[in-house]
Chain A
Amino acid sequence: MNEAYHPIPQPSELSDREKDDAMGSYLMMFASVAVGLPLPIINLIAAIVYYYTNRSKGLFVHFHSLQSLISQLPTTIINAIGVFWAVRIYFFDWELTDNFKGYLIMALIFNLAYFIFSIVGAVKARKGRMYYFLFFGRLSYEAVFKKKDSTTIVIQNLPPK
């Protein structure tokens, strides 16, 4: 284990409560997706709220809720662009370009992939396991488990001589 990182909690060290909260961070998305479909921004807000209320519940929960939050950012942006583009076409161009059709299919695939990965993430989290998404997993790991630079603290305050 690298010195610069906090040890990763093992399944046996985790309480059921922690596992549930970690799983909840993924399942949360599906509840809010239904609410926020026309405006993808709503589930983003829900994710941020969930993240801030749960990140203090230990590294394991912190990691999973952060991964869930940042991994939905691109999907949210892709969907928002899609909605914006569709509205634009409806009001101004009235033409379905191949570009837009390609984008829609791509957005569909990304949403599907996000959905599947979230389910897997939720199941793994419930079992007390880590699960790393491509890129987002590593990013979350760095953000949560990396020790803050404690070695560079300059010792200034000393006891009386």
Chain B
Amino acid sequence: MKIWRELLILVLIFGLIWLAFTWRPLSLPGTELKLSKEREKDLAELIMDNLEDEYEFYDDSVVNKVLKPVTTRLLDSLKPQKYEYKFYLLDDSNEINAFATLDGNIYVFSGLLKFVDNPEQLAGILAHEIGHHENGDLVDRLMKELGLSVLAAVLTGGDAVMISEISNLLLSTGFDRKQEREADEFAYDLMVKSQVNPARLAHFFTKLKAEEKSYPDDLEIIMTHPNSKNRIEGALSYPLPKDFQEKEFTLQWEMLIETNL
């Protein structure tokens, strides 16, 4: 009967439109903007200047003692590298956080170092941040959220308000779930290559989850997220190669932190 044919046509239109736009989603305007390498570098420096105004930086001797052993192992197993990675240690015991800005810069708060149980957990978090760099999430997010004004900020040599806004954006945990998941996957992979068990990240997330409840709300806590359960499962279920063997860092972690921070 005609009426059923018309109903079928209607349902087909419904399904086809949905399928068509699922298969080929409209790209949002602004994602086509590109940030050249040189500009990214300039912007990274401006952000660093801004962070230097806001936080105390530990000097290189401390960074070399505390972060270097971990980062060296990670970077040695990361080939090829998209950036020349640089790690900085900021003094703020209340911030259990690490974040990546641009051009391979990664900032770690002293609060995070005091929070983690061992250097293996730290390796996992840093691998995650490196993942954001390698996947190009940072530039992507910056261009999506601030777009042309980022380019304007670089070209005009950095308007203070603008740069501060950019730093705040990168500091807040605002990646979407897909980017976070991909950075996690990247982290597990890099951890395995660096002979660190991805389960270490699960330990960290578990501890964080337990700790979150006892912290007052105004503390910034890394990766606060309703889905931390999934991430714990993800880290635990990551398939390890058969001959995998963890090689622990030869650091007296607690003593190292106590004496240096």
**Please, which residue of chain A has its CB at the minimum distance from the CB of B175?**
A94
Contact B18 A102 (CB under 8 A): yes
Q: Mark A57-94, 1 if CB is under 8 A from B, else 0.
A: 00000000000000000100010000000000001111
B9: CB under 8 A from chain A? yes
What's the minimum C-beta distance from A77 to chain B, rounded to whole angstroms? 11
CB contacts (< 8 Å) of B10 on chain A: these are 74, 134-135
Stretch from A20-28, A35-43, A103-111 at the B interface: A103-111
Residues of B within 8 A of A91 (CB): 226
Most buried by B among A74, A98, A102, A142: A102
Contact B17 A105 (CB under 8 A): yes
Q: Are A109 and B17 in contact (CB under 8 A)?
A: yes
A99 CA to B7 CA, complexed, in Å? 23
Interface size of A by Cβ–Cβ distance < 8 Å? 22
- State the Cβ distance, A22 to closest chain B Cβ, in Å: 22
**Which residue of B2, B178, B181 has the most chain A CB atoms within 10 A of its CB atom?**
B178
Q: State in angstroms the CA–CA spacing of A103 and B26 once bound together.
A: 12
User: Which B residues are CB-close (under 8 A) to A102?
Assistant: 18-23, 25
Looking across the interface, which residue of chain A has its beta carbon closest to that of B19? A102
Secondary structure call for the B interface: helix
Q: What class of interface size applies to chain B in its complex with A?
A: 20 to 34
A138 touches B3 (CB 8 A): yes
A103 to B21, CA, bound (A): 8
Contacts of A95 in B (CB 8 A): 176-178, 181
Given the complex, which residues of A lie within 8 Å of B21, measured CB to CB? Answer: 101-103, 105-106
Contact A142 B227 (CB under 8 A): no
Report which of A96, A98, A135, A142 forms a contact with B7, defined as CB distance below 8 A.
A135
Closest to A134 in B: B6
CA distance A92 to B229 in the complex (A): 11
Residues of A contacting B14 with CB < 8 Å?
74, 78, 106, 110
Residues of B within 8 Å of A105, CB to CB, are 17, 21, 26
The answer to whether B225 has its CB under 8 Å from any CB of chain A is: yes
A74 to B10: give the CA distance in the assembly, Å: 10
Q: Which residues of B contact A14 (CB under 8 A)?
A: none
A119 touches B (CB below 8 Å): no
Chain B nearest CB from A75 CB (Å) reads 11
The yes or no answer to A33 lying at the interface (CB within 8 A) is no
Cβ of A96: which chain B residues have Cβ within 8 Å of it? 176
Which residues of chain A come closer than 8 Å to B3, judged between CB atoms?
135, 138-139, 142
Given contacts A138-B2, A138-B3, A106 and B18 within 8 Å (CB-CB): yes
Q: How close is B121's CB to chain A, nearest CB, in angstroms? A: 24
Cα A102 to Cα B14 in complex, Å, equals 11
Q: Which residues of A contact B17 (CB under 8 A)?
A: 105-106, 109-110
**Bound-state Cα–Cα, A135 to B21, Å:** 24
Residue of chain B at shortest CB distance from A104: B21
Distance in angstroms between the alpha carbons of A101 and B23 in the assembled complex: 10
Q: In the docked arrangement, what's the CA distance between A103 and B17, Å?
A: 8
Contacts of B177 in A (CB 8 A): 93-95
Per the bound structure, the CA–CA distance linking A103 and B25 in Å amounts to 10
- Additional A-B contact list (8), CB under 8 Å, known A99-B22, A102-B21: A78-B14, A92-B226, A95-B178, A102-B25, A105-B21, A106-B17, A135-B6, A138-B3
Could you tell me which B residues sit within 8 Å of A by CB distance? 2-3, 6-7, 9-10, 14, 17-23, 25-26, 176-178, 181, 225-227
Q: Which 5 A-B pairs rank lowest in CB-CB distance, beginning with the nearest?
A: A102-B22, A95-B177, A102-B21, A135-B6, A105-B21
